[in-house]
């Protein structure tokens, strides 16, 4: 084995061992290619062991990208599950408001028009200089869909931008809610994980290879599972029609179509239940600037001597760093988080939660780190 192959093997082995995933793109358009199986598996209903479908997930059609459309279905679902105004009006059908939430007119004008296709990438307003593009206002904006500076042709998106799009769209467009999202490769996201999410009524977004050429190309909204004749299937809305399609749940391969590369899971909560912005009398925590790129100042006022703890958590709920854990007398205090963990490693762009605890109560402040 030559040195180059050995290095490649070591990298792939390391990625596999730690569950990391290589960023991959969706490359399909509003109409599937002729070699795509649009029907999927048709059940004979005789050997079904179990079948479950999440009720109420709206089936949206491709609107300036399969990624924002698939994520839009998840938004539309939670809009009707106690989180209204994620999408204006009635999100159960694909209204003009739904389309604007998925990909706004401004998004199309700045990044998608004129519509380009592989291999001719046309520059758009994502290119330098900055400041000539509109302020992000749709899922496609936060997903960086169609942006030429990232190698995205019209309607294309990258897999790593799905979780951040969910979190950022909620953070900036609906700050009374808090959203987290995370992805796992199919190798680690077992069929049992699919079953668990569906049973808990959590729709997912899968990145798949729709035509079986061994390359990722399409985002779908996964809403169901079933086992028939001992074979595991997932049910999905494919953004090309409004029917539920069934495909065998297995890893992406050039030997068959609709294999899964990775899955993204989503959660949402009401910030009122997290004590955002001084819910408890006597407990206050301010953060400035927010968003921030290098450091954020955290200020609080103590009316009496108290034991306080200030700690940083990421969107997954993992502890990143303890900023303070001490007894302080009454007064005004300021602390600084430098965007690093306990070991001094810089943390990536994303949402973080600063949790402040004293004998009076607990407050949480949501901050946005932008590298």
Which comes out higher in pLDDT, residue 166 or 361?
166
Give per-residue pLDDT as tens, 350-365. 888 888 888 777 777 8
In this structure, how many other beta carbons lie within 10 angstroms of the beta carbon of residue 286?
Answer: 16
Which comes out higher in pLDDT, residue 316 or 220?
220
Mean pLDDT for 178-189 is 89
Mean pLDDT for 32-52 is 92
pLDDT of 224 over the 60 cut: yes
Say how far apart CA 68 and CA 85 lie, in whole Å. 17
Cis peptide before 250 (omega within 30 of 0): no
Mean confidence (pLDDT) of the chain: 88
Res 13: pLDDT: 42
Residue entry with tokens 């009524």: 201
pTM, 2 dp: 0.72
pLDDT of 278 over the 80 cut: no
Which comes out higher in pLDDT, residue 305 or 253?
253
Q: Are 182 and 19 in contact (CB under 8 A)?
A: no
For residue 305, name the pLDDT band (cuts at 50, 70, 90): confident
Res 283: pLDDT: 60
Q: Are 193 and 263 in contact (CB under 8 A)?
A: yes
Res 330: pLDDT: 85
Res 17: pLDDT: 39
H or E stretch including 86? none
Res 202: pLDDT: 96
For residue 16, name the pLDDT band (cuts at 50, 70, 90): very low
Mean pLDDT for 11-40 is 77
Domains and CATH numbers, the chain: 22-270 (3.90.70.10), 275-369 (2.60.40.4070)
Res 90: pLDDT: 93
Res 223: pLDDT: 98
CB-based contacts of 336: which residues, under 8 Å, 6+ apart? 295, 296, 297, 298, 323
Res 173: pLDDT: 84
pLDDT of 271 over the 50 cut: yes
- For the ranges 8-12, 18-22, 85-89, the maximum mean pLDDT occurs at 85-89
Give per-residue pLDDT as tens, 102-157. 999 999 999 999 999 999 999 999 999 988 999 899 999 999 999 999 999 999 99
- For the ranges 31-40, 289-298, 350-359, the maximum mean pLDDT occurs at 31-40
Give per-residue pLDDT as tens, 83-106. 988 998 999 999 999 999 999 999
Res 5: pLDDT: 41
- Taking only Cα atoms into account, the Rg of the chain, rounded to an integer number of angstroms, comes to 22
Phi, psi at residue 36, to the nearest 5°? -90, 130
Mean pLDDT for 331-354 is 90
Say how far apart CA 206 and CA 68 lie, in whole Å. 12
């Amino acid at each position: 084995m030559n040195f180059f192959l050995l290095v490649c093997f070591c990298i792939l082995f390391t990625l596999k061992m730690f569950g990391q995933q290589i960023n991959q793109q969706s490359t399909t358009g509003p109409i599937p290619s002729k070699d795509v199986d649009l029907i999927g598996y048709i059940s004979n209903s005789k050997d079904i062991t179990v079948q479950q479908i999440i009720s109420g997930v709206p089936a949206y059609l491709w609107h300036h990208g399969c990624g924002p459309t698939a994520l839009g279905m998840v938004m539309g679902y939670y809009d009707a599950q106690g989180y209204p105004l994620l999408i204006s009006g009635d999100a159960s059908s694909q209204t003009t408001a739904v389309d604007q939430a998925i990909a706004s007119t401004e998004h199309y004008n700045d990044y998608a028009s004129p519509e380009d296709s592989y291999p001719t990438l046309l520059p758009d307003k994502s290119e330098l200089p900055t400041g000539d593009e509109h302020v992000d206002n749709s899922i496609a904006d936060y997903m960086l869909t169609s942006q030429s500076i990232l190698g995205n042709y019209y309607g294309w998106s990258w897999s790593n931008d799905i979780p951040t799009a969910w979190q950022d769209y909620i953070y900036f467009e609906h700050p009374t809610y808090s959203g987290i999202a995370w992805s796992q490769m199919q190798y680690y996201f077992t069929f049992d994980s699919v079953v668990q999410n569906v049973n808990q009524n959590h729709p997912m977004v899968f990145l798949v290879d729709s035509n079986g050429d061994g390359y990722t190309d399409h985002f779908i909204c996964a809403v169901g599972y079933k086992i028939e004749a001992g074979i595991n299937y997932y049910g999905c809305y494919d953004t090309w029609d409004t029917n539920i399609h069934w495909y065998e749940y297995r890893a992406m391969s050039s030997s068959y179509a609709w294999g899964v590369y990775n899955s993204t899971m989503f959660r949402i909560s009401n910030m009122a239940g997290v004590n955002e912005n001084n819910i408890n009398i006597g407990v206050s925590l301010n953060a400035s600037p927010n968003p921030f790129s290098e450091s954020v100042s955290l200020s609080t006022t103590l009316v009496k001597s108290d034991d306080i703890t200030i700690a940083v958590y990421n969107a997954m709920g993992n502890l990143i760093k303890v900023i303070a854990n001490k007894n302080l007398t009454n007064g005004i205090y300021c602390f600084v988080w430098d965007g690093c963990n306990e070991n001094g490693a810089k943390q990536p762009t994303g949402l973080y939660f600063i949790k402040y605890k004293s004998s009076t109560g607990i407050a949480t402040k949501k901050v946005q780190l932008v590298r």
